[in-house]
Amino acid sequence: MIYDSIIETIGNTPLIRLNRLNRGIKGDVLVKVEYFNPGNSVKDRMAIKMLEDAEKEGAIKPGGTIIEGTSGNTGMGLALAAISKGYKCIFTMADKQSKEKIDILKAVGAEVIVCPTNVAPDDPRSYYSVAKKLNQDIPNSFYPNQYDNLSNWKAHYETTGPEIWRDTGGKITHFAAGVGTGGTMTGTSRFLKEKNNKVVAVGIDTYGSVFKKYKETGIFDEDEIYPYLTEGIGEDILPKNVDFDMIDHFEKVTDKDAAVMTRRLSREEGLFVGWSCGSAVHGALEYAKVNLKEGDLMVILLPDHGTRYLGKVYNDDWMRNHGFLEDKSFGTARDIISSRQGLYELVVVKKDSKVNEAIALMNGKSVSQIPVVENGQVIGSVTDNKLLHKIIENPNLKDSEVADVMEDSMKFVAMDSTLDVLSSMVDKEKAVLVRDENHQIHIITKHDILAAMTR
């Protein structure tokens, strides 16, 4: 078949049966491999839909500029569409995204602006805010806003869902996919449930994201938000494309489990896929082990290709440095926490406590540094060395509030960070903090690291 442009090849991606990773699971497990799209990801579908809908509405005119905040894949889809239609592209990305994603977008002619990850969504430095500001400043520009643009989920309602229904002969019983902007899950699930309201939709979330708790409680809990490494799933906001009524259950997956499963998909199934694909498969199989029965048919959507992650999950040194390889010569933060005996209680001081109280607490608990908290959130720290110098200079500070003397917060690190990574992060005076899977916060000091190295 001859196509007039690359964008005509989007869609109709294959379903492939898992043969090894699904051992011991009842029912059948298929994966929908979206890297067969021309931009190597599921995002091609909604990118072209958002752009064509914008053209119909007059939101962009010939010669215009597409501006979008992206983790990389949506940008690629938009860039391919822009080449076919004669538009320019500017993309903002968080600095946790892989270098490969940035390089690929530049290769197809896009301008890429890298923004900090660990800032609030409404911070002017965030990749959301920078994209919005550029859209305001550049004439004839279009900001698709994949998070809240409902053309996102409609693309999957019109294409992904119908393809799965057709290719399974209507026998699908479970659909699983990672949830980020929400368009893939919402649109696909909506179509499948309209065909058969017994189809179960399993959303895959990551630790550090708000989705699972919000689905289960209706509470947007900021305590659920903390840095994570996995790209493309999870959010610290509630995009309009996430329709929680279309998602029956959420499974959370750690960065490590996702990375390890990504490599297993390549080595055991021949599927060279991206990091969030590992999240989707790990979470879906954990659900399937308990819930699938004979005769069931689960489809797991694999959103992108492994070329985006050559410097990360497919790099042994990167995996080892993050504690994601089983290398016994490297202990981890998890090992340090597991070695602590008895009940653990993090010693903290409140922002509005008196400095005298903080000193008494440090003396009573024999600790040299304490996190400062406000409404359950870590907002700063107090260390005995810095505090001593401040009080020598101004003895009256003893009666002041801790907020007047506190320093920057200790850094949060991943549970599976290795000892060499931890030691490089612990400076001369600061410890680091770790949040476990139960959201309990632990402190790790230089003493902890030295003790672990000599065990």
333-453 matches 44-142 in CATH topology:
no
**What is the CATH code of the structural domain delimited by 44-142?**
3.40.50.1100
Q: How far is CA 257 from the centre of its chain?
A: 13
- Return the domain boundaries, the chain: 6-41+151-321, 44-142, 333-453
Q: What is the pLDDT of residues 75-117, one digit of tens each?
A: 999 999 999 999 999 999 988 787 888 999 999 999 999 998 8
Q: CB burial class (10 A; 0-12, 13-18, 19+) of residue 223? A: middle
Whether the per-residue pLDDT at 425 is higher than 80: the answer is no
Q: What is the pLDDT of residues 368-421, one digit of tens each?
A: 889 998 887 888 888 888 888 888 888 888 888 988 888 888 888 777 777 767
Q: What is the pLDDT of residue 200?
A: 98
CA distance 200 to 173: 6
Q: How many CB atoms lie within 10 A of CB 3?
A: 9
CATH superfamily of 333-453: CBS-domain (3.10.580.10)
Q: How far is CA 179 from the centre of its chain?
A: 9
Q: Is 43 a catalytic residue?
A: yes
SS in 3 state form for the chain? CCCCCHHHHCCCCCEEECCCCCCCCCCEEEEEEHHHCCCCECHHHHHHHHHHHHHHHCCCCCCCEEEEECCCHHHHHHHHHHHHHCCEEEEEEECCCCHHHHHHHHHCCCEEEEECCCCCCCCCCCHHHHHHHHHHHCCCEECCCCCCCCHHHHHHHHCHHHHHHHHCCCCCCEEEEECCCCHHHHHHHHHHHHHCCCCEEEEEEECCCCHHHHHHHCCCCHHHCCCCCCCCCCCCCCCCCCCHHHCCEEEEECHHHHHHHHHHHHHHHCCCECHHHHHHHHHHHHHHHHHCCCCCEEEEEECEEHHHHCCCCCCHHHHHHCCCCCCCCCCEHHHHHHHCCCCCCCCCEECCCEHHHHHHHHHHHCCCEEEEEECCEEEEEEEHHHHHHHHHHCHHHHHCEHHHCCECCCEEECCCCEHHHHHHHCCCCCCEEEECCCCCEEEECHHHHHHHHCC
Whether the per-residue pLDDT at 6 is higher than 90: the answer is yes
Residue 74: half-sphere exposure toward Cβ, Cα within 13 Å: 32
Contact (CB, 8 A) for 411 and 430: yes
Whether the per-residue pLDDT at 130 is higher than 60: the answer is yes
Q: How many CB atoms lie within 10 A of CB 33?
A: 22
**What is the CATH code of the structural domain delimited by 6-41+151-321?**
3.40.50.1100
Section 130-143 average pLDDT: 94
Whether the per-residue pLDDT at 207 is higher than 60: the answer is yes
Contact (CB, 8 A) for 211 and 185: no
Per-residue confidence band for 276, with pLDDT thresholds at 50, 70 and 90: very high
Q: What is the pLDDT of residue 72?
A: 83
Start-to-end Cα distance in the chain = 65
Catalytic residue among 32, 43, 212, 312: 43
Q: What is the pLDDT of residue 178?
A: 98
Whether the per-residue pLDDT at 428 is higher than 60: the answer is no
Taking the alpha carbons of 178, 183, 184, 189 in that order, is the dihedral positive or negative?
Answer: positive
Q: What is the pLDDT of residue 330?
A: 55
Per-residue confidence band for 345, with pLDDT thresholds at 50, 70 and 90: confident
- Least trusted range by pLDDT, from 51-65, 114-128, 240-254, 414-428: 414-428
